[in-house]
Structure 1
Amino acid sequence: MKLNVDLSSLWARVHQMGAEVTDFDIGTVWQDGDIEFDDELESGIDVDIEDLTSEEGILSVKGRQVILFIPDHGFKVEKALLDGSEGNKFHVADCTKLDEMRRKNSFEERYKITNNFSGEFPIYGHGANKQFLEGTAGLNVCKLCLNHLNYQGSANATVSERNEIVNQFDIEEFFSTYSSLFRKLPKQYASLAKKGYSEDWESVSADIRKKSNYVCQYCSVDLKEAKRLLHVHHRNREKSDNSPQNLIALCADCHRKEPFHGHMFIKHEDMLTINRLRGEQNVYANCDWNTVKRKADLSLHGVLNHCEKKGYTVPEVGYLLNVPDRTSPLLLELAWLQRKFGIVLSDPVEVAGWTILSLEEALSFFGKNKKSTTR
């Protein structure tokens, strides 16, 4: 039944007070009915390998990005407690090591999953004198996982470069890179996102956004129709410093690509909105590798690094492909139009004359040493 309600008096009072209509997205607020599961996941949960799934090669459970680790370190526990790099590696991707363990059926009841950002893992075992020891250790990430995703160019890096990627690996930054692939954000993100801001931040931010005319000061995309996707960035990374010279309006995508902003999460549909508006407004019209990386979803950077390293041509970003019998165009995250080759962040579909791959398939395809048909 349709309800006809006259709200003109209410709106008159709103305008009288000088209030401004703002965008609000219920999806930006962390919420989920399975709160008990998220509480347990933050601490660490025993996992059955059958429950462990993969989103484009990233380990996941119940739509949540997770880390897989072994708490039982046996006789290695003493060394691991002193130096985490001596311990068992934790996994973030469905790498060749996990494939090998599946084939050997060597997954035992000793694995746990977590989505904790701290980088400290609870471990235990027996020392040299058979004394039971337990504590936390800053374990290293599995290099095979990084290579599988070509995270930060790991697959094409030298040994020393790859070691540096491992040493500098930040779980929160890694989760942020692939956050657009997942339906649920880690529960701890809700509290971290608000931490450090001044009490008047909401009004300060609104004023900066309004003065910028809702245009990103880096990529120049106009976000008047999606104002919530325009953020305000602290140049010196001090959230309490709201001096005008320290604040700049940036779209959510440009904001999270700033140095030391690995903590920022962005939904895939928000990236689509930003890139749709960029396309309509002819933002990033000149296509070079820096432009493509600036525009593309961070989860695609592993593929882009493969392509750039091997000298392939630059792709279109966010190309809408008209397909017969489809009510709306198919979005190709990356597209090489002359070769009719595309990548999607969803299940690939068959389109006559086109080769369309998922992100995981594309990582495998471009990771091979053979020449690509997109060259």
Structure 2
Amino acid sequence: MKLQIDLSALSAAVSRMGLPLPVVFDLKNPLLPHDPERPHSGDSPVIEPGGEEITWKVFNEVKKTGNLLEYKGQQILLYMPGHPQNRFEEAQVDPLNGNRVHISFCRHLEEMKRTGNFQRYIATQDQDGEFRIYSRQKPSHEVNVCLRVCMLCLTKLNYKGYSKPGNKAVFTYFSFREFFQHYESFFSEHPAPEPRSHEEKGYTQDWPEVSKAYRASKDYICESCDVTLKRHRHLLHTHHVNGVRNDNAEGNLKALCADCHSKQPGHDHMVVTRDNRYTITHLRREQECADTADWQQVFDLADPGLNGLLHHLKTLKAPLPEVGLEIQDARDAIVANLELAWPGRRVGVAIGPEDAEQAREQGWRVFSVAQCLDSPEKLKRQILPPA
């Protein structure tokens, strides 16, 4: 009889406890050393470079994950390549005249799904901002254009507080690459980046040694959130303050945990897995450096994918949440992680559906990110103390 063993639950529990996983276990293959710096990505992308046309059937398989677009476990973008001839010509002069790129299940896509009024869309994971378009009158005539993001999508996600009146800069300076980086925790797989050497990335040849020595000089403590990472040294990075990667002057270096590092301006190239963010959050709480005395501290500590929701709650003057609360069962075993929590009301927000289910079994009222984005006022009512 063939023996089936599933260690995924054990691995997830260990990760939540903040313990290192030195190897990846695979009962079919020899044990291989685990490389913590390796980007978390699938064996192959869901969508080929350049994108592919989707049918009505495929469109119905696109999921709404945190109001984002998900297909086969990965995040995607959707756009309509066909343009009327006049708009096709105008889009080449000014991308504002072209069709918009959808990053969310906005009002437009939801209406299309409801009515079945489906048009030809392309699904893509390309993040460089260039998209292939053509004229409906001359389909063979194709060009690449830097199309702009859909404003309805930005509103749906409240991306970087876009819903705040006058916040036009979010649209003007929108980056698809940075957008993907914001929501990494919502997806288990990501497109693999093109491998490049340290020199190709702009670092000096001795950068690994410089980085290691600097982090050791700071006793493996994050200089932003104060979390100690001696047992998880791969989660402490060395950041170039001025953004110049070959400037290794000590005054230009800063030791930052992977979470804090990923939130620095211009760091849209970074991949921080959900499990690694969990580990850092666990250690912050264990070491009592996860206090949230004001909204700025909440933004600094919370997962970037909750940014839009946090902007809603701040505007609504909701009570401050705790960040990364671990839920325990009757035996004090950690069974779930809530990204945001209000323990006094036993209300929380979870990215992962498994975490939400486990927390509910422990008597918590848990909402998904999509539910909260669609109705932040309802969440506020749930977390306000009784009158």
Quick check: 1:287–1:316 contact (8 Å CA) kept in 2?
Answer: no
Give the direction of change, closer, same or farther, for the CA distance of 1:252–1:31 in structure 2 (3 Å limit).
closer
Q: 2:77 pairs with 61, 67, 70, which one?
A: 67
Deviations 1:241-290 (A, max 9, x none): 11222111111111111122233221111111111111111113352111
Q: Secondary structure at the match of 2:153?
A: helix
Runs of 4+ in structure 1 over 6 Å off: none
Give the direction of change, closer, same or farther, for the CA distance of 1:267–1:190 in structure 2 (3 Å limit).
farther
For 1:222-371, what aligned pairs fall within 5 Å after superposition? 222-324=228-330, 327-347=333-353, 348-349=356-357, 350-351=360-361, 353-366=363-376
Equivalent position of 1:103 in the other structure: 114
Equivalent position of 1:138 in the other structure: 146
Deviations 1:302-354 (A, max 9, x none): 11111111111101111122345895332111111222210111113234653
Aligned mates of 2:227, 2:68 — CA distance in 1: 30
Equivalent position of 1:14 in the other structure: none
Quick check: 2:91–2:97 contact (8 Å CA) kept in 1?
Answer: yes
Q: Secondary structure at the match of 2:171?
A: helix
1:45 partnered with 2:52: yes
Q: Pick which of 48-57 and 219-228 moved more.
A: 48-57
1:186 is displaced (CA, Å) by 2.0
Aligned mates of 1:188, 1:286 — CA distance in 2: 34
Aligned mates of 2:71, 2:372 — CA distance in 1: 23
Instruction: State the AA in 2 paired with 1:106.
Output: N
1:29 is displaced (CA, Å) by 2.2
Q: Secondary structure at the match of 2:264?
A: coil
Aligned mates of 1:329, 1:312 — CA distance in 2: 27
Give the direction of change, closer, same or farther, for the CA distance of 1:190–1:64 in structure 2 (3 Å limit).
farther
Quick check: 2:238–2:254 contact (8 Å CA) kept in 1?
Answer: yes
Q: 1:26 pairs with 14, 35, 52, which one?
A: 35
Instruction: State the AA in 2 paired with 1:200.
Output: D
1:135 is displaced (CA, Å) by 0.9
Equivalent position of 1:172 in the other structure: 177
Aligned mates of 1:192, 1:260 — CA distance in 2: 19
Give the direction of change, closer, same or farther, for the CA distance of 1:249–1:30 in structure 2 (3 Å limit).
closer
Q: Pick which of 24-33 and 68-77 moved more.
A: 24-33
Structure 2, gaps ≥5 residues long: 1-21, 24-32
TM-score for the superposition, normalised by structure 1 = 0.85
Deviations 1:352-375 (A, max 9, x none): 65311111112123166x962313
Equivalent position of 2:158 in the other structure: 150
Equivalent position of 1:88 in the other structure: 99
1:219 partnered with 2:225: yes
Deviations 1:177-226 (A, max 9, x none): 10122222222364499722222111111111111111111111100011
Aligned mates of 1:150, 1:326 — CA distance in 2: 37
Equivalent position of 1:77 in the other structure: 88
Structure 1, gaps ≥5 residues long: 1-21
Quick check: 2:292–2:321 contact (8 Å CA) kept in 1?
Answer: no
Give the direction of change, closer, same or farther, for the CA distance of 1:261–1:131 in structure 2 (3 Å limit).
closer
Give the direction of change, closer, same or farther, for the CA distance of 1:188–1:329 in structure 2 (3 Å limit).
closer
1:28 is displaced (CA, Å) by 4.0
Give the direction of change, closer, same or farther, for the CA distance of 1:177–1:25 in structure 2 (3 Å limit).
farther
Aligned length: 345
Instruction: State the AA in 1 paired with 2:207.
Output: W
Quick check: 2:222–2:255 contact (8 Å CA) kept in 1?
Answer: yes
Quick check: 1:44–1:112 contact (8 Å CA) kept in 2?
Answer: yes
Q: Secondary structure at the match of 2:132?
A: strand
1:126 is displaced (CA, Å) by 4.9
Quick check: 1:64–1:182 contact (8 Å CA) kept in 2?
Answer: yes
Q: Which has the higher contact order (CA 8 A, sep 6+)?
A: 2
Give the direction of change, closer, same or farther, for the CA distance of 1:246–1:345 in structure 2 (3 Å limit).
same
Alpha-carbon RMSD across the aligned residues, in angstroms, is 2.5
Quick check: 2:290–2:301 contact (8 Å CA) kept in 1?
Answer: yes
Aligned mates of 1:241, 1:31 — CA distance in 2: 28
Give the direction of change, closer, same or farther, for the CA distance of 1:131–1:255 in structure 2 (3 Å limit).
closer
Aligned mates of 2:42, 2:190 — CA distance in 1: 13
Equivalent position of 2:190 in the other structure: 185
Aligned mates of 1:192, 1:181 — CA distance in 2: 28
1:301 is displaced (CA, Å) by 1.4
Aligned mates of 1:269, 1:207 — CA distance in 2: 26
Percentage identity across paired residues of the two chains? 34
For 1:6-17, what aligned pairs fall within 5 Å after superposition? none
